[in-house]
């Protein structure tokens, strides 16, 4: 009876697998002004740039026309400042989309 020749147990060199990539954290947005906010809370909800403010804060009653007196930057064309949740919020005229936010403390500079 023919028996197959025994093959010595040869270990293959381990193939190095790349380490799984660590989950990348979004880079924190850097602001030129320490009073500029990345988000704020208003009406029990967290808001950030790109969110739409409730209709009430888009009315003339909340519009800030004398933004210079509150030490706010000039609004860009098609936007205006409003006061919401203790913060000054730059929103688009058409839809109320948040562009920038500043702490209410800016007035004390």
Tokens read off for 79: 């936007």
Give the full edge-to-edge strand order of the sheet including 63-64.
63-64, 79-84, 87-92, 98-103
* Contact partners, residue 84, CB within 8 Å, separation at least 6: 40, 42, 47, 53, 57, 62
pTM above 0.75, yes or no: no
> For every one of its 109 residues, what pLDDT tens digit does the chain have, with 9 covering 90 and above?
555 555 555 555 555 555 555 444 333 445 678 999 999 999 999 999 999 999 999 999 999 999 999 999 999 999 999 999 999 999 999 999 999 999 999 988 8
- Whole-number pLDDT of residue 108: 85
Find out whether 49 and 29 touch, Cβ atoms under 8 Å: no
Q: CB 90: neighbour CB atoms within 10 A? A: 22
């Amino acid at each position: 009876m023919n028996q197959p020749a025994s093959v010595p147990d040869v270990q293959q060199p381990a193939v190095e697998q790349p380490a799984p990539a660590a989950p990348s954290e979004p880079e924190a947005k850097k602001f030129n002004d320490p009073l500029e906010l990345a988000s704020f809370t208003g009406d029990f909800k967290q808001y950030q740039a790109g969110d739409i403010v409730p209709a009430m804060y888009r009315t003339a009653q909340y519009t800030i026309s004398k933004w210079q007196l509150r030490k706010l930057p000039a609004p860009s064309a098609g936007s205006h400042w409003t006061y919401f949740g203790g913060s000054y919020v730059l929103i688009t005229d058409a839809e109320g989309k948040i562009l920038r936010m500043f702490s209410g403390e800016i007035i004390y500079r």
